[in-house]
Amino acid sequence: MRDDYKLQGATEKVEVQVEKQVAESLRAMADFSKFSSSELVNTALKRFISQHKDFLPPNYGKTQK
């Protein structure tokens, strides 16, 4: 399970704003867990996306031939 946090493949920098409490919690989690903030955020977003596919366009991710 702890390997789920490792970044795999190409990465891209994204700038976002979050609530102050979220940023503070993220820093505390990164310090305590020894995973980078990027690894924690990437994992959280992957989990969010997998549970909220209704936010994606209907044809998202389908290859066109």
Q: How does pLDDT run along the chain (65 residues), one tens digit per residue?
A: 667 788 989 999 999 999 999 999 999 999 999 999 999 999 999 999 999 999 999 999 886 55
Instruction: Give me the pLDDT at residue 5, please.
Output: 85
* CA–CA gap between residue 36 and residue 28 (Å, rounded): 11
Q: Return the domain boundaries, the chain.
A: 18-58
Count of Cβ atoms closer than 10 Å to residue 6 Cβ: 11
Instruction: Give me the pLDDT at residue 38, please.
Output: 96
Instruction: Give me the pLDDT at residue 62, please.
Output: 82
The pTM assigned to this predicted structure is: 0.82
